[in-house]
Structure 1
Amino acid sequence: MIFNRKQRGARFTAAVSDLEEAVAARDGDRTERAFSAVMNSAQSASDAECLDAGPRLAALLPAFPPTGPRPMLAMAAGFCVERGADPRACAEPILDGLRQDLLDALEFARRWTATGDELPPPDEQSIDDAFLARLGDDEYEATRLALAWCALEEWQPPALAVLCRSTEVRRRHASAVLPLCHEVEALDRHDLKCLSYALAVLNDEPLIVLHRPTGRAYEIRVDGIGDNFQLHTLLAHVLVGGGHVPGTPPSPECVRLATSPEPAETESDAEATGFFELLAPDGTRLWNEGLPDDIPVVSGRRLLILDAPSYARTWNADRFFPHMPGRAELVRVLPPDEAKTWYAHTSPAA
């Protein structure tokens, strides 16, 4: 069995090397065969082989044919990241490829709507000569734009593989990709919710948090928090669990599910409790279903108000991104004069 497993892994390593050589030689037939061999042998590769192969596969993306299955090659690199390859070494080609296909999908939408018709669903089976003719006279370019439109969601898994495993990757690439992701989402033809959530995660960012019932204020640094459910739990852990505000802190299991580097393998039955009402400085409610990125920036800092909950509520404590551990740390308790300055930025109704 050990010998057979090594043989299977060796096939994966050999297929990656063959693909590199085929792409470098611009040999289309050989590239196609080597690509199929990579995809067929990846599942049986060892973690060590995936660690080596991930950056090599990602590095091939810029040279891979734009009308070829580039999202599938990105998926292979993302699979290797999930098996231990360095997300930082794989991120740039994957996220650059995603960004280019988002741009191409937007160009597809511009050209298609210029014909007066509604945008089609993203289905590669719909691509034929009549479909391409709507996009212009250049068949190669039309094919590239059509494939970008139809295969865009295939970029989501490899992008999430690198984004969820590295604060550095998110910090470096999110600002260039998130606006394009929002533009495509606004067209209402692609489901990119997970991608947009991951790109919007706050990365090692300080919040000013005002606890209205006590009149106190805190600076809390957050990282890797996928939604406001998770933020809510971790704020309660820091403030209630830390003895700064009254109440019953979240259970150790809820905190573990929000922060552990080890992802939950199955859905838990742990239940988190609502400790606060989350409010913007103008009194607008920030729903748990929203994102920390929804917290408004005031005087260069995100400013969040915590009030007493208006009704009792609970939710499942599992985090939105299993492979992205969240973190919330108390940096300091603000002195009364500084707290007063921040409270002055809030609406009396808040």
Structure 2
Amino acid sequence: MKWKNWLWHLVAWLGFWGALILSRGREGAEWPLILSSLACFVVVSTVLSYVNYLCLERFLDRQRYGAYFLRMVPFFFLSNLVLGLSLAYAREEKLEFWGLLPTLFINWLLSTGTYFFQSGIRRQRQLQDARARQLEAEMQLLKMQIQPHFLFNALNNLYATNLQDPSKANEMILQLADLLRYQLEISKRAKVALAEEITLTEHFIELEKIRLYDAVVEVEKRGNFEHLQITPLLFLPLVENAFKHSAGIGPQRIHVCFEVEGERLSFVCQNSIATKPSPKTSNQLGLQNVRQRLLADYPQRHQLDIEHTPEKYHLTLTLQLEIR
């Protein structure tokens, strides 16, 4: 806020002026003369500093270096002349012109250095804000990719089920409607309760079990999930891939486990590989999406391991989560 900037300026100037007064004060010093001299210096140096600051902001940021120096050099010597005349009048001495230049030059250096320091901080904040906005836009895009991808696969499964067993298809439609409503609610938030994310995953598993009634699906939950939060829609693509990898001729077994220890979550998803896999294979969009979101939301705080053999597909995701 602007008033905070002005407050910092006031504190800095008070400290600067106080240091000048203390440096000039000594036993037997002529305080009226000292204070009048310092008043002249303070007024001129303050005006010089802010004029320099304004010229830097107006010309140097636009790379108009010539315009900056054409204004500052004359003003610098004018300030030096005004200060020399003021001090000569206050002290009743002769005009001292060249001897004051080093003092004003130091003042100019300090104001210029302050300007570049504040500009650097401001630019750094702008870069951070821009990166945050870009990351947020990318995350929203990744979330938007999940929903059409999931819906496309769900409708394909629904169509296939309807050809074989229309009664099951009707049940799947109701389950899918609830799942999509729930998914839309939590996808609008940056973070959701871990318990909600697990509930969404369980709803999807129940939907798949309607279609694959002979599949053996086990879901385990260990630990306390209520106090943690997580990025939404992380587990759904992984479990969806498990059902795809196990689809085909042969026994279908899927094991899903959520385990929490403190703030550390371990998610395991293992599925059997069918002896004759279904021709509809995964395009890996869901897994790629999850990888990108993990890198964005959990840098240095996640580990994703995948073991793929002819008999099984085993995925382990470890996350360091945040407390709600």
Q: Same fold (TM over 0.5)?
A: no
State which structure, 1 or 2, has the greater radius of gyration over its C-alpha atoms. 2
The TM-score, its normalising length taken from structure 1, stands at 0.21
The TM-score, its normalising length taken from structure 2, stands at 0.22
Higher helix share: 2
Tell me: higher relative CO, structure 1 or 2? Use CA pairs within 8 A at least 6 residues apart.
1
Higher strand share: 2
